[in-house]
Amino acid sequence: MHHFQYKNDELYCESVSVSKIAEEIGTPFYLYSHATLKRHFKTFDNAFGAIERLVCFSAKANTNLAILRLFQSLGSGLDIVSGGELYRGIKAGFLPEKIVYSGVGKTIDEIDYALNSGILMFNVESLEELTLIQTRAKTLNKQAPIALRVNPDVDPKTHPYISTGLKKNKFGIESDVALEVYKAAMKMEHIRIVGIDCHIGSQITDTTPFKDALEKIKLLINTLKELGISIQYLDMGGGLGITYADEDPPHPDEYAKVLVNSLKETSLTLILEPGRVIVGNAGILVTSVLYSKRGEIKKFIIVDAGMNDLMRPTLYDAYHAIEPVKKPKGDFIKADVVGPICETGDFLALDRNIANVGKGDLLAVMSAGAYGFAMSSNYCSRPRCAEVMVHQDHFEVIRRRETFQDLNRGESIPSFLE
């Protein structure tokens, strides 16, 4: 459930008219519901109430400081994949000991930053990375807590770009190799083995892949125990899907039941890394119609939000429902909803049955809270849009709209061109 509802044929976020926000700050902008964010996090966390766990919000889904602070206030930990996300997390108030560092390409500077910060653990993706972490920990006279990210070769049946647990994916260490890497880690003086990590993909709408992956990981945990390696944390990653169109993902309670039933006889602390399932349906992108255009074959609705604002349709051919902010009384038409970017791939929807809107009308691109602003860019020198959060009958801008002056911040013309 989310808090974007029509009242008298006009879209509201909680108790605030979306049109009112657009009148005050302009378009495009991302709009988040505080009530939805809070409800989704609590629903997910409470689903695992029968087991020792740490829910670490996946920062890459949405790194706005206000959203991070909200989850931090609810007791969340944080899953990060870069030094920048670590910086944002600490800035938002997360304790380093509740931060897990994932990702295949950690740099020396990022590893040092995490070691000096005192994070909960690194999810290590290769023997070379493990060796580098050992070297940096020795240099800094630190102990590095680690888990190995094990690739269980489970098909999550999702888009190939967001599948992460197959042998052909770049992530993790294959199960039969992981045992040898753990043995190597045991001999490293500045490495402390604390966990095991497994993440199979994103936007998964069936619990079976999670169950299959967990059964493979449990076998490895038992083998490690025989070698004298005690695992404290089992990180099962994230990946639970949401409804964009006609998907029917499992409720967090159903997802939790699969994991809890398999782990209730163990003493493991379960770490979870939800992202999309918490923020996806808690945010929308609001855009204005600039023009309508009829070609020989198609009709186009041209809006002021482009692929630089929301990349998912272009990158994944992803579906986002598009709703009029004020329901018109006219018929529906079939049209492409496209942006102002000079790319044929700049679209929000193709061949979509949509309300027959016109110049100046507002459209809401639904389910845009995850991987929306986080993936946005300044392509075509377009300032990135604003972000807004609604709390009951009040809204605040939580990221101001960029200006043209922001576009060349940090740039300079070299002396030999002056």
Active site residues: 342
Cα atoms in the 13 Å half-sphere on the side-chain side of 63: 18
Q: Greatest CA separation found in the chain?
A: 72
What are the start-end ranges of the H helices in 98-174?
108-117, 127-139
Distance CA 193, CA 249 (A): 34
Cis peptide before 209 (omega within 30 of 0): no
Bin 237: left if φ > 0, else alpha if -120 < ψ < 50, else beta: left
Query: For residue 272, how many other CB atoms are within 10 A of its CB?
Result: 28
Show the CA angle centred on residue 208, arms to residues 61 and 78, nearest 5°.
Answer: 25
Under DSSP, the state recorded for 111 is: H
Distance CA 389, CA 370 (A): 14
Instruction: Tell me how long the chain is.
Output: 418
Dihedral sign for Cα 353, 357, 359, 362, please: negative
CA gyration radius, the chain: 23
Location of structure tokens 């918490």: 278
Distance CA 418, CA 411 (A): 14
Contact call for residues 261 and 341 (beta carbons, < 8 A): no
Give the pair of three-digit tokens for residue 93.
């108030």
